[in-house]
Amino acid sequence: MLQGDELPTIPASRVRLRPLADSDVPALFAVFSDEQVMRYWSTLPMRDIAEARALLDDIRAGFQQRSLFQWGVARVGDDRVVGTCTLFNLDSRNRRAEIGYALARDCWGQGLMSEALGALIAYAFGPLDLLRLEADVDPRNGPSIRIVEKLGFVREGLLRERWHVGGEAQDSLILGLLRHEWEARAGRPDGA
Any idea what the CATH number is for the domain that residue 119 is in? 3.40.630.30
Is residue 191 assigned to a domain?
no
Tell me if residue 117 falls in helix, strand or coil: helix
* Domain total in the chain: 1
Range of the domain at 76: 10-185
Is residue 3 assigned to a domain?
no
User: What is the side-by-side strand order in the sheet with 96-103?
Assistant: 10-11, 15-18, 68-75, 81-91, 96-103, 132-137, 168-178, 154-165
pLDDT at 190 over 60: no
Cα-to-chain-centroid distance, residue 172: 16
Query: Which amino acid is present at 115?
Result: E
Is residue 2 assigned to a domain?
no
Residue 1: predicted pLDDT: 61
Q: What is the mean pLDDT of residues 60-89?
A: 96
Is residue 91 assigned to a domain?
yes
Higher pLDDT, 166 or 56: 56
Beta-carbon contacts of residue 70 (< 8 Å; ≥ 6 apart): 20, 59, 62, 63, 84, 85, 86, 87, 88, 100
Beta-carbon contacts of residue 50 (< 8 Å; ≥ 6 apart): none
Higher pLDDT, 169 or 125: 125
Is residue 150 assigned to a domain?
yes
Residue 188: predicted pLDDT: 54
Q: End-to-end CA distance of the chain, in Å?
A: 19
Tell me if residue 37 falls in helix, strand or coil: coil
pLDDT digits (tens, 9 = 90+) for 1-19: 677 788 999 999 999 999 9
pLDDT at 192 over 70: no
Tell me if residue 63 falls in helix, strand or coil: helix
- Cβ neighbours around 85 below 10 Å, total: 24
CA distances from 53 to 64, 68, 86, 150, 171 (A): 17, 16, 17, 33, 29
pTM metric for this prediction: 0.91
pLDDT digits (tens, 9 = 90+) for 22-69: 999 999 999 999 999 998 888 899 999 999 999 999 999 999 999 999
